[in-house]
A and B are shown apart, each in its own frame.
Chain A
Amino acid sequence: NAGVTQTPKFQVLKTGQSMTLQCAQDMNHEYMSWYRQDPGMGLRLIHYSVGAGITDQGEVPNGYNVSRSTTEDFPLRLLSAAPSQTSVYFCASQGQSFEQYFGPGTRLTVT
């Protein structure tokens, strides 16, 4: 199993650009989520999904869109990047005992 994979590892955007952060898991987990982590801070939940076709907002959803068309994939879209979205983004999926498995993260800089 590859576990949770995220692409790209690093990305630099200009203000106003859009992009999609990819997340995939091969463990057949229904629950997936996205977090952001600003320097020296904790994890903040952006969006989560309890299965294909079902998504919901977390603590900081503004400026981000998600969709879940398959069990495996949960992409995060930045609609119009802003410097305040400079952060490390982690994707996670949840196992049978409700434990979270995290990906390695995408480091995003918006200039």
Chain B
Amino acid sequence: DAKTTQPPSMDCAEGRAANLPCNHSTISGNEYVYWYRQIHSQGPQYIIHGLKNNETNEMASLIITEDRKSSTLILPHATLRDTAVYYCIVISGTSYDKVIFGPGTSLSVIP
């Protein structure tokens, strides 16, 4: 079973920040949080990952709470092309493990 829970859907106005939450209350010490997105029926695309510190790259920012039980993916200025299903997963970042996806959050960016 997936180790994360996410809201099934969210809307965001174009140009505004999209904040996508993820709960992972059973995360263990060596597990990382990874985010992916899937646009229409394409293959999922890796976005960002983190252990406990906040992370930022050219696509997004990842904020992980101090207790590591939840995280938020932030798309700072959402565009229509960011409309997609966003998946939050938790896996070991130090050894090979099954990678199980949950249903994700369907984000709609509205003009």
**Residues 27-47 of A at the B interface (beta carbon under 8 Å):** 30-31, 33, 35, 41-45
Which residues from A are CB-within-8-Å of B43?
A: 4, 90, 92, 102-105
Interface of B is mostly: loop
Given contacts A100-B46, A104-B42, contact A31 B96 (CB under 8 A): yes
Residues of chain A from 64 to 100 with CB closer than 8 A to chain B in the complex: 88, 90, 92, 94, 97-100
Determine if A100 and B96 form an interchain contact, defined as CB atoms under 8 angstroms apart: no
Bound-state CA distance A94–B100 (Å) is 13
| Residues of A with C-beta under 8 A to B32 | 98
CB contact between A100 and one of B36, B42, B93, B103 (< 8 Å): that residue:
B36
Is B100 touching A100 in the complex (CB atoms < 8 A)?
A: no
A48 x B44 contact (CB < 8 A): no
B residues sitting closer than 8 Å to A (CB atoms) are 32, 34, 36, 41-46, 49, 85, 87, 91-93, 96, 98-104
User: A-side interface residues toward B, CB under 8 Å?
Assistant: 4, 30-31, 33, 35, 41-45, 48, 50, 56, 58-59, 88, 90, 92, 94, 97-105
